Amino acid sequence: MLNLGAEHFGQMAAHARAGLPNESCGLFAGEISGDTKTVKAVYCLKNTDASPEHFSMAPEDQFTAIKDIRKKGLTLLGNFHSHPLTPARPSEEDIRLAFDPSLSYIIISLKDPEPVLKSFIVHAGTVTEEAVQV
Ligand SMILES: [Zn+2]
């Protein structure tokens, strides 16, 4: 299960809205205890693709985020990106690029007036939705 504070959800949703019409992306980190991942920090990164259908996280932003995660003694829990016009489901490309089964892949859909957030675990091309508690 993924425990997400309302402020973290807000940070991701605000970043997603600010990036429109393009996809936005970022990383999040926190602590793992048993089956529960608790988010403690969200990092809003630049989408260097500047595209409504793709994202690539700016390498310098990733570097800065990873450095901060280490400094805070947190664990990288996963990444997030937005779908400006489509539902919060991983695209074929998202699945293809999700190579780490230990990470959570959050997608925020802005298709509807209220942002919809879902988290997924991808293992060898198989997608499982992960429970999220906000
Ligand atoms: Zn996607």
AA letter at 28: F
Average pLDDT of the chain, as a whole number: 97
CA distances from 64 to 25, 50, 58, 60, 126 (A): 15, 20, 10, 6, 31
CA 117 – ligand 1 centroid, Å:
12
CA 81 – ligand 1 centroid, Å:
7
* Segment 7-36, tens digit of pLDDT: 999 999 999 999 999 999 999 999 999 999
- Say what the pLDDT of residue 77 is: 98
CA 126 – ligand 1 centroid, Å:
15
* Segment 42-60, tens digit of pLDDT: 999 999 999 999 999 999 9
CA 98 – ligand 1 centroid, Å:
10
Cα(5)–Cα(27) distance, rounded to whole angstroms?
A: 15
* Segment 65-108, tens digit of pLDDT: 999 999 999 999 999 999 999 999 999 999 999 989 999 999 99
